[in-house]
Amino acid sequence: MTSNEGRVYDVGYKPFEGELEGSFALVRSIALDTMRRALGLRRRGRSKIVPWALVAGTTFPALVTLIIMFFSGSSPFASGADPLSGSRDLLETVVLLSLLFTAFVGPTALIPDRRDGVLNIYRSRPVRARDYLLGRIGGTALLVMLFVAVPLGLLFAGQAALHPDGIFVGVGAMARHVPSLAGTILALSLAFVSPVMLVSLWAKRSGAATGMFMVAMLVLDGFTEFVSEAGTGIGSRVLVLLSPIENLLATRDWLLNTTATDNGVGRAVLLADMPIWSGAVVIGSVAVVTAGLAMWKYKKELGR
Amino acid sequence: MNDSLISLQGLHHAYGSQVALTDITAEIPSGQIGLVGANGAGKSTLIQNLLGILTPTQGSASLFGLPVRENLMAVRRRVGYMSERTALPLDQTAADFLIYAAQLAGISNNDARQRASEILTLTGLHEERFRHIREFSTGMKQRVMLAQAIVHDPDLVFLDEPTAGLDPEGRDEMLALIARLGSFGINTVVSSHVLTDIEAVCNWVVMLDGGKLLRSSALEALIDSAVIQLEVFGDTGPVISELSTRGAQVSQSGSVLEVRLAGEDPHSLVMDALVSARAGVRSLKSKRTSLEDVFLAEGETT
């Protein structure tokens, strides 16, 4: 069958006629981009070295612990020990690596967009400051949580698998600890991501932000230890709450029901004169202040 | 119902005590719009008000009939923006960046991949799509900037100094790309202080100077190509008389006559008049009134 009618198309350009997605998809795209950038995925090889070395650094102790447990048959269930002891010890090891990881990946969330002028692109897209920050800061917080959750999850699965009555009984026995572990991981992420974002809101270079964050964290930690040893007055007790690391460890002790004797470090003693949950309150408050400041700054940057 | 693409009503913008735009009122139709003015004329401030990045101190701006401040997200779904300064994530490949730029406009991942591929082909970057932007030349970076501005199929794209920093060849390629946007149904606002660029790609011109609106009108009405400059031997009186009789406008400067004929090419009319007046011609040439002439003349009158 033939037709005399015809149409000419410009194949060089096709208008977009699909459906547009909403703000949830927008936040997801920004968060995924944040995580890819932080881990150096689809970037040059050099940008992968530090994050992946740190990931290996957290996973390795979990694997070693599991291997020792497997070959020695020293499952906490078999010996009647507290099944959370391995997780507590691992958290102790992971805290410093998490701090380094956050210091390295945190500044890459906000600073490059400002430095390279890329915010201009967000200004011509239906991206609110809220969406942008949820994607960038939320993506970083999620990544830091995964950084800790992966080795803990490995340990969790390994311990469950070594249960004398089988893996399913093991999972059941471990499951009741999941909320406390999840809360601790969230606290760790907030404790470190909030201050690194505070620095990143104003720093012009990622390297400088990493340095400032690390110095601030270590100085505050040293200062609070000094203050706590120097006196027990109300001033000293309040000053103890300045250190995100101490607040995190106090929160961990609170959520995982640890005492100073249990973990052998005695950090909770620093907060002995304060309610043990006060560390969690400070972590939450710093997160809220950071979110408020970030919204204030980026509403101006993005126009809404 | 207002069918202007851009409507400006008493738009005024000040940075503290420094006034950047003063009482701009204009109705600008769809098409390829040139925004011209010297550096500091207020071009970028006007674009930022239209994108809702800045809030006018007084007055209002509307795009597609929608007040920008009240409909910011709806407006931003329909616009693209290529900033004057190179604004690119240098550590990404062109393909990854364009996919992300499309997703930021709400396009799904699969569609974004398709759009990115098509636009990279359109802008001549398809072969280079897996190279990191850091390795690109200035011209290629400008093309990536243009690509991200149109990857989501906007109704209107703002191009702020799109040829800045390009060599002549790169500039011609960029202008050719911009000229094609109109055939895709994409309106453009091209901001530039290079007036020949505006003449090459625009059909409407908005002139700014010192934050004030000098002119907003069709390019055709501004530049007059139907002018002949004529110099004759001897007395110019008979020639002027013959030209005037035939309806031409004549102005004289010494022995040089400038002849205009509204809406028509005056060449044949000038020939007829010269024959009738039996005048000898010393020189005869077409004089083109460029956008630059108009801009300079407007600047002098204000």
The pLDDT of residue B286 is 79
Residue B130: phi and psi, rounded to 5, are -100, 10
The pLDDT of residue B106 is 95
Select from B53, B118, B126, B187 the residue whose CB has the most chain A CBs within 10 Å, as the one to mutate to test that interface: B53
The DSSP annotation for A224-292 comes to HHHHHHH--SHHHHHHGGG-HHHHHHHHHHHHTT--HHHHSS-HHHHTTTS-TTHHHHHHHHHHHHHHH
Strands of the sheet with B204-209, listed across from one edge: B79-82, B156-160, B187-192, B32-36, B204-209, B212-218
Q: Check CB contact under 8 Å for A117 and B100.
A: no
Closest CA to B56 of B84, B24, B33, B17: B24
pLDDT above 50 for B99: yes
Q: Which residues does chain B have within 8 Å of residue A44's beta carbon, measured at their own beta carbons? A: 91, 132
Q: Check CB contact under 8 Å for B158 and A124.
A: yes
Distance from CA of B134 to the nearest CA of A (A): 11
What's the pLDDT band for B2 if we cut at 50, 70, 90?
Answer: low
Q: What is the pLDDT of residues B238-250, one digit of tens each?
A: 999 988 888 888 8
pLDDT above 90 for B284: no
Distance from CA of A192 to the nearest CA of B (A): 26
The pLDDT of residue B294 is 75
Q: Coil, strand, or helix at residue B231?
A: strand
For residue A294, what are the contacts with CB-CB under 8 A and spacing of at least 6? Answer: A133, A137, A197, A201
Work out the average pLDDT over A160-184: 85
Q: Coil, strand, or helix at residue A21?
A: coil
> Mean pLDDT across chain A, nearest whole number?
85
The pLDDT of residue A249 is 84
Residue A294 token pair? 């970030």
The pLDDT of residue A109 is 96
Listed range (A63-67, A230-234, B229-233) with the worst mean pLDDT? A230-234
The CA-CA-CA angle for residues B287, B290, B296, to 5°, reads 115
Unique residue bearing structure tokens 């205009």: B260
Q: How far apart are CA A189 and CA B300, in angstroms?
A: 63
pLDDT above 60 for A92: yes
Q: What is the pLDDT of residues B125-165, one digit of tens each?
A: 999 999 999 999 999 999 999 999 999 999 999 999 999 88
Q: Which residues does chain B have within 8 Å of residue A124's beta carbon, measured at their own beta carbons? A: 51, 76, 79-81, 149, 158
Listed range (A254-268, B83-97, B272-286) with the worst mean pLDDT? A254-268
Work out the average pLDDT over B74-91: 93
Residue B242 token pair? 């013959």
Rg (CA), chain B: 24
Distance from CA of B30 to the nearest CA of A (A): 18
Closest CA to B125 of B149, B97, B144: B144
Q: What is the CB-side half-sphere exposure of residue A141 using CA atoms within 13 A?
A: 20
The pLDDT of residue B264 is 67
The pLDDT of residue B123 is 92
Residue A124 token pair? 């011509």
From the list A18, A118, A122, which residue is nearest B107 (CB)? Answer: A18
CB–CB contacts below 8 A, A to B: 112
Q: What is the pLDDT of residues B134-145, one digit of tens each?
A: 999 999 999 999
The pLDDT of residue B221 is 78
Q: Which residues does chain A have within 8 Å of residue B125's beta carbon, measured at their own beta carbons? A: none
Closest CA to B44 of B133, B144, B161, B127: B161
The pLDDT of residue B205 is 94
Work out the average pLDDT over A141-152: 95
Q: Which residues does chain A have within 8 Å of residue B88's beta carbon, measured at their own beta carbons? A: 116-118
pLDDT above 60 for A1: no
List, in sequence order, the alpha helices (H) in chain B. 43-50, 72-76, 94-103, 109-122, 138-150, 168-181, 195-201, 219-222, 237-245, 267-277, 291-301
Residue A70: phi and psi, rounded to 5, are -65, -45
The pLDDT of residue A265 is 46
Closest CA to B251 of B227, B279, B233: B227
Q: Check CB contact under 8 Å for B184 and A13.
A: yes
Residue B68: phi and psi, rounded to 5, are -60, -50
Does ipTM top 0.90?
Answer: no
Buried-exposed string A201-213: b where 16+ CB fall within 10 A, e elsewhere: bebeebeebbebb
Please, are residues B191 and B201 in contact by the beta-carbon 8 Å criterion? no
The pLDDT of residue A19 is 92
Q: Check CB contact under 8 Å for A14 and B87.
A: no
Q: What is the pLDDT of residues A73-84, one digit of tens each?
A: 766 666 666 666
The pLDDT of residue B222 is 78
Q: Quick one: three-class SS letters along A24-53?
A: HHHHHHHHHHHHHHHHCCCCCCHHHHHHHH
Please, are residues B35 and B190 in contact by the beta-carbon 8 Å criterion? yes
Amino acid symbol at B9: Q
The pLDDT of residue A233 is 65
The pLDDT of residue B225 is 59
For residue A190, what are the contacts with CB-CB under 8 A and spacing of at least 6? Answer: A141, A283, A284, A286, A287
Q: Which residues does chain B have within 8 Å of residue A127's beta carbon, measured at their own beta carbons? A: 76, 104
Rg (CA), chain A: 24
Residue B12 token pair? 């005024």
Q: How far apart are CA A247 and CA A279, in angstroms?
A: 4
Please, are residues B257 and B232 in contact by the beta-carbon 8 Å criterion? yes
pLDDT above 60 for A10: no
Instruction: Give percent above pLDDT 70 in chain A.
Output: 84
pLDDT above 70 for B86: yes
Work out the average pLDDT over B4-15: 96
pLDDT above 90 for B46: yes
Residue B53: phi and psi, rounded to 5, are -75, -40
The pLDDT of residue B191 is 95
Work out the average pLDDT over B96-102: 97
Q: What is the pLDDT of residues A240-299, one digit of tens each?
A: 788 888 888 888 888 887 654 444 444 545 555 677 788 899 999 999 999 999 999 999
Give CA torsion, residues A162, A166, A171, A177, to 10 deg. -60
Cα-based distances in Å from A185 to A101, A178, A285, B184:
14, 10, 17, 51
Instruction: Give percent above pLDDT 70 in chain B.
Output: 96
Listed range (A21-30, A142-151, A249-258, A289-298) with the worst mean pLDDT? A249-258
Distance from CA of B194 to the nearest CA of A (A): 23
The DSSP output letter for B102 is H
Please, are residues A61 and A90 in contact by the beta-carbon 8 Å criterion? yes
Buried-exposed string B255-288: b where 16+ CB fall within 10 A, e elsewhere: eebebbbeeeebeebbeebbeebebeeeebeebe
Q: Which residues does chain A have within 8 Å of residue B81's beta carbon, measured at their own beta carbons? A: 120-121, 123-124
Q: How far apart are CA B144 and CA B166, in angstroms?
A: 14
Work out the average pLDDT over B27-45: 93
